[in-house]
Amino acid sequence: MLGIFAALTTALCWAIAARLYRQLGTHFAALTLNFWKGLLSLMVLLPLSLIYSDTAAANEHIIWLLISGAIGIGLGDTCFFLALSKIGDRLSLLIAETLAPILTALLAIAWLQEWLTGQQWLAIAIILFAVDAVLRLQRSDKTLQLSGISYAALAALCQAIGAVISRDVLVNSQIDALSGSSWRLVGGMALIIILMTIKRSRWLPSANTPLRPWLLLLVATLIGTTASLYLQMVAFSYTKAAVVQTLLTTSVILSLILSRLAGDTIPSGSWRWTLLALVGVGILLY
C-alpha gyration radius of the chain:
18
Domain that holds residue 22: 2-285
Question: Which of 20-24, 196-200, 245-249 is predicted most confidently?
Answer: 245-249
Neighbours of 176 (CB within 10 A): 19
Q: How far apart are CA 20 and CA 45, in angstroms?
A: 21
User: What amino acid occupies position 22?
Assistant: R
**Of 95, 205, 207, nearest in space to 140 by CA:** 95
| Position 140 confidence tier, pLDDT thresholds 50, 70, 90 | low
Q: Decide if 269 contacts 137 (C-beta within 8 A).
A: yes
Checking if the pLDDT of 276 tops 60, the result is: yes
pLDDT at 151 over 80: yes
How sure is the predictor about 186, in pLDDT bands with cuts at 50, 70 and 90? Answer: very high
**Residues 194-221, mean pLDDT to the nearest whole number:** 83
Model confidence at 251: pLDDT above 80: yes
Determine the pLDDT at residue 54: 65
| CA 186 – CA 42 distance, rounded (Å) | 7
Overall domain count for the chain: 1
> Please, which pLDDT band fits residue 91 given cuts at 50, 70 and 90?
confident
Angle between helices 228-238 and 2-22 (to 10 degrees): 160
Find the mean pLDDT for residues 157-181.
92
Q: What would the mean pLDDT of 111-135 be, rounded to a whole number?
A: 89
Return d(Cα 142, Cα 60) in angstroms, integer: 43
Average pLDDT for residues 97-101, to the nearest whole number?
Answer: 88
Q: Is the pTM of this model over 0.95?
A: no
Least confident of 11-20, 87-96, 124-133, 236-245: 87-96
Segment 189-214 shows an average pLDDT of 83
Q: What is the mean pLDDT of residues 133-144?
A: 68
* Cβ neighbours of residue 211 closer than 8 Å, sequence gap 6 or more: none
| Interior angle at CA 119, CA 163 and CA 242, nearest 5 | 5
Three-class secondary structure assignment of the chain:
CHHHHHHHHHHHHHHHHHHHHHCCCCCCCHHHHHHHHHHHHHHHHHHHHHHHCCCCCCHHHHHHHHHHHHHHHHHHHHHHHHHHHHHHHHHHHHHHHHHHHHHHHHHHHHHHCCCCCHHHHHHHHHHHHHHHHHHHHCCCCCCCCHHHHHHHHHHHHHHHHHHHHHHHHHHCCCCCHHHHHHHHHHHHHHHHHHHHHHHCCCCCCCCCCCHHHHHHHHHHHHHHHHHHHHHHHHHHHHCCHHHHHHHHCCHHHHHHHHHHHCCCCCCCCHHHHHHHHHHHHHHHHC
CB-based contact 251:100 (threshold 8 Å):
no
Do 241 and 1 meet the contact criterion of CB atoms below 8 Å apart?
no
